[in-house]
C-alpha cells in the first residue's frame, strides 16, 4: 500500500524519513519497507541530475559534481522513472577532508545532495545510499573518504512557511557514518524565501570575478535591487545585504559525518586517521527562523 507522506510541523525530533518535492520537505513513516525488486540504481548524466536536484531540493542549487547516481522505480511493462538522486561533489571546504580524515583533498568527496521523491518508501535511503557508494567505488576508485553534512537549524520564509525543518542526519547514522561533531559556526545570508545565498556567489560579485554576471542574476532573481552605474561589486554587495531583501542568521554549524571507502582492509586503515567519533545527535536545534 502506498502511504502518503506526512506534512508535519517543526519539532525538536526528526518526525520521519525526509523527502523533497518541488522544494518542500515531507516525511515518510519510518516503519515502511520498500520492495527492492521495484528499484534500480544507475549513474546519471549531469543534465538530468542537475534538473532533478534544482527542481526538488529546498536549496534550489546544485554543487560541483564529480559523480551523479540515480534511483529509478520500475514496474513490469512500464518505463522506469527517476525518483531519487545522489550527488558526490567537490567538498565546499578545501581543508575538510584533511581535517576530518587526515587525507589529501583529492581523495575526498562530499555527498553534496541526496534527494528522494516523496512517493518513495521510508527505508529506501540506506538501500539507495549503499548502492550509490558501490557506484562511487567503481567509477572513482581514487576516492577514499566521503563527507556529508546535516543542517539541524529550522528555517522559515518571511511569510512564515517552513523551508527547512532541520535534520540531524538520521539516515547517515543508519548508514553507520562516523559523527565527528559540528562544522565551524558561521553567519548565513538568507533571502525572503529562507534560502541561503552562498558566500561563493557574494565573493564573485565583490571581486568582480569570473562568474560575477551569473551571480548578479541569481541575486536579482532573489529580490536584490539592480546594480547602479559604475557601482563596484563590493559596494553593490554591501548595499544589497543592507536591504530588506536579505537577512543574516547566526548558525552553530552543521553536523558532520564521515565514511571511509574501499575494501574492508583499506577501510580499517582509513578509520585510524578519522577524527574521533562523538555521540550521535538526536535533536534538532530549537531556534526557528
Give the predicted TM-score (pTM) of the model: 0.83
Mean pLDDT, the chain, rounded, equals 87
116 and 207 co-located in one domain: no
284: in domain: no
pLDDT range class, residue 104, cuts 50, 70, 90 = very high
- Picking from 156, 155, 152, the residue whose alpha carbon sits closest to that of residue 166 is 152
How many domains, in total, are found in the chain?
2
25 belongs to a structural domain: yes
pLDDT of residue 134: 97
The residue assigned the cell 543534465 is: 47
Looking at the fold, whether 67 and 172 belong to one and the same domain comes out as yes
The pLDDT, as a whole number, for residue 19 is 58
Mean pLDDT calculated for residue range 194-209: 89
Question: Both 120 and 256 in a single domain?
Answer: yes
The span from the CA of 29 to the CA of 22, in Å, is: 20
Same domain, 170 and 203: no
DSSP at 252: -
59 assigned to some structural domain: yes
Contact status, residue 73 vs residue 59, Cβ threshold 8 Å: no
CA distance 203 to 233: 9
The grid cell for 181 is 561533531
- Residue 7 in any domain: the answer is no
Both 30 and 61 in one domain: the answer is: yes
Residue 120's pLDDT is 85
Check whether residue 134 and residue 260 sit in a common domain: yes
162 and 195 Cβ atoms separated by less than 8 Å: no
Between 212-221 and 199-206, two packed helices, what is the crossing angle to 10 degrees? 120
Q: 34-88, pLDDT tens digit by residue?
A: 889 999 999 999 999 999 999 988 888 899 999 999 999 987 767 899 999 999 9
Phi-psi region of 150 (alpha: psi -120 to 50; beta: other; left: phi over 0): beta
Domain ends where: 217, 233, 248?
248
Q: Is residue 5 one of the residues assigned to a domain?
A: no
Are both 83 and 35 inside the same structural domain? yes
Q: Do 115 and 223 fall within a single domain?
A: no
Residue 240 within a domain: yes
Could you tell me if 43 and 176 lie in one domain? yes
- Count how many residues are written for the chain: 289
Per-residue pLDDT, averaged over 87-96, amounts to 93
pLDDT (mean) for 9-14? 47
Per-residue model confidence as pLDDT tens digits over 114-166: 999 888 877 888 999 999 999 999 999 999 999 999 999 988 888 888 778 88
Domain that holds residue 233: 189-248
CATH assignment of the domain containing 54: 3.40.630.30
| Residue 49 sits in the same domain as residue 180 | yes
The pLDDT assigned to 8 comes to: 39
Residue 128: helix, strand or coil by DSSP? helix
Would residue 123 count as lying in a domain? Answer: yes
- Identify the pLDDT of residue 198: 87
160 and 213: one domain? no
- Residue 203 and residue 83 in one domain: no
Q: Is residue 227 part of a domain?
A: yes
Nine-digit cell at 42? Answer: 544507475
pLDDT band for position 26 (50/70/90)? low
Per-residue confidence at 22, pLDDT binned at 50, 70, 90?
low
**What is the predicted pLDDT for the residue at 20?**
56
91-95, 102-106, 238-242: least confident range? 91-95
Amino acid at each position: 500500500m502506498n502511504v502518503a507522506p506526512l506534512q508535519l510541523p517543526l519539532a525538536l525530533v526528526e518526525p520521519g524519513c525526509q523527502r523533497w518535492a518541488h522544494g518542500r520537505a515531507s516525511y515518510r513513516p519510518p516503519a515502511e519497507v520498500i520492495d527492492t525488486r521495484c528499484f534500480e540504481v544507475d549513474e546519471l548524466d549531469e543534465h538530468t541530475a542537475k534538473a532533478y536536484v534544482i527542481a526538488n531540493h529546498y536549496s534550489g542549487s546544485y554543487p560541483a559534481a564529480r559523480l551523479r547516481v540515480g534511483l529509478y522505480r520500475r514496474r513490469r511493462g512500464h518505463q522506469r522513472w527517476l525518483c531519487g538522486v545522489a550527488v558526490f561533489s567537490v567538498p565546499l571546504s578545501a581543508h575538510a577532508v584533511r581535517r576530518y580524515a587526515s587525507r589529501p583533498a583529492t581523495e575526498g568527496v562530499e555527498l553534496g545532495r541526496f534527494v528522494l521523491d516523496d512517493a518513495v518508501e521510508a527505508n529506501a535511503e540506506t538501500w539507495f545510499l549503499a548502492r550509490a557508494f558501490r557506484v562511487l567505488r567503481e567509477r572513482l576508485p581514487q576516492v577514499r573518504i566521503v563527507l556529508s553534512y546535516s543542517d539541524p537549524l529550522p528555517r522559515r520564509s518571511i511569510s512564515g512557511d517552513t523551508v527547512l525543518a532541520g535534520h540531524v542526519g538520521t539516515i547517515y547514522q543508519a548508514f553507520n557514518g562516523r559523527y565527528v561533531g559540528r562544522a565551524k559556526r558561521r553567519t548565513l545570508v538568507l533571502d525572503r524565501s529562507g534560502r541561503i545565498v552562498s558566500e561563493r556567489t557574494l565573493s564573485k560579485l565583490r571581486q568582480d570575478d569570473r562568474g560575477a554576471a551569473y551571480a548578479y542574476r541569481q541575486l536579482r532573481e532573489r529580490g536584490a535591487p539592480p546594480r547602479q552605474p559604475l557601482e563596484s561589486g563590493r559596494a553593490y554587495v554591501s548595499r544589497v545585504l543592507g536591504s530588506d531583501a536579505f537577512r543574516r542568521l547566526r548558525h552553530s554549524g552543521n553536523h558532520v559525518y564521515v565514511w571511509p571507502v574501499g575494501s574492508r582492509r583499506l577501510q580499517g586503515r582509513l578509520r585510524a586517521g578519522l577524527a574521533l567519533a562523538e555521540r550521535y545527535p538526536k535533536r534538532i536545534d530549537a531556534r526557528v527562523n
